[in-house]
Amino acid sequence: MTRIIMHGCNGAMGQVISGLVAQDPEAGIVAGIDISDTKKNDYPVFASLKDCNVEADVIIDFASAKAEDALLDYCAKTGMPVVVCTTGLSPEQVEKVSETAKTAPVLRSANMSLGVNVLLKLVQEAAQVLASAGFDIEILEKHHNQKVDAPSGTALALADSINEAMGGIYHYKYDRSTERVKRDQKEIGIQAVRGGTIVGEHDVIFAGKDEVITFNHTAYSKAIFGKGAVEAAKFLAGKQPGLYTMKDVIG
C-alpha cells in the first residue's frame, strides 16, 4: 500500500483525494498537512511538515504557491517523493522544483487528469498524419462563467503539444474578427466559450477535405485531477530522484 501525506488536506482537492483514497485498497493517507483545521479527517493533521512524525512513501501537494518553498526544502532534505499539483508557482519556484529533483523524486503537472494527458499524446499522433495531409487544426474550449483566464491552460497545452510534434511550425489565432483574411494553414485557432457551471470541455478539431475528426475531453468533476494525482503518487513512490511528468505515469 502506498502511504500518502496529503499536503493541503483540508482544501477542495485535498478533500476530493481523501474521498478517493478511502475507496482505494492500494493507497492510504497516513497524515495531512494544513494550516486550516476546518475539516474532520480520519488521519492525523499537522500544521506543517516539520511537525509531522508519521512515516510515509510520498507527498501529494494541492495547497498554495505560498507553501511551496517549505515543501520543496523538506523534500530536498529528506529525499521524500512529491507530486506537485499546486499551480501559480513563480519562475523561481519552478526552478526550485528542478533543483529539488536532484535529491528527491518530483512529479509536477499543471493538469493531473489522466484523460487530458492521454489526449496530449493522441493529438500529437493525429497531427503527424493529418496536418501533413493538409487538415486544419482548431481547438474549442468551454468553461464555467467564473473562470477569468482564456484560453484555458489545457487548450494552450494541447496546441503546444501539437506544435512540438510538428517542429514548431504553428502560430496561434485567438480572434478572427479584426481582419478579413482566409485562415493560414500554419495556424491553430483557439476559441473559448464561458457559461454556467461547465467544469471543462476541450475539442481538438482536425478538419480536412470532406472529413472532420474531433477529439473531445469532457471533465464532469474535479475528481479527475484527484484520480490522476493518486495514480502519480503510486507511480512515484520508491523511484530514484529526478523530475517526472504525467507522460511517465501513462507510459
Interface residue list for ligand NAD (CB under 6 A): 8, 10-14, 33-36, 62-64, 66-67, 85-88, 109-112, 225
Query: b/e for 90-120, b at 16 or more Cβ within 10 A?
Result: eeebeebbeebbeebbbbbbbbbbbbbbebb
- Output the residue with the shortest Cβ distance to ligand NAD: 11
Q: Rounded to the nearest whole angstrom, what is the least distance from the CB of residue 191 to ligand NAD in the complex?
A: 22
Q: Which is nearer to ligand NAD, 126 or 249 (CB)?
A: 249
Sheet bearing 171-173, strands edge to edge: 171-173, 187-194, 136-143, 200-208, 211-219
Cis status, amide bond into 151, omega within 30 of 0: yes
Residue numbers annotated as active site: 143, 147
Find out whether 158 and 140 touch, Cβ atoms under 8 Å.
no
Q: Rounded to the nearest whole angstrom, what is the least distance from the CB of residue 99 to ligand NAD in the complex?
A: 20
Closest CA to 4 of 79, 80, 77: 80
Residues 6+ apart with CB under 8 A from 226: 13, 16, 17, 19, 20, 112
Q: Which is nearer to ligand NAD, 29 or 33 (CB)?
A: 33
Q: Rounded to the nearest whole angstrom, what is the least distance from the CB of residue 10 to ligand NAD in the complex?
A: 4
End-to-end alpha-carbon separation of the chain, Å? 21
Q: Which is nearer to ligand NAD, 64 or 93 (CB)?
A: 64
Q: Rounded to the nearest whole angstrom, what is the least distance from the CB of residue 176 to ligand NAD in the complex?
A: 30
Q: Which is nearer to ligand NAD, 70 or 205 (CB)?
A: 70
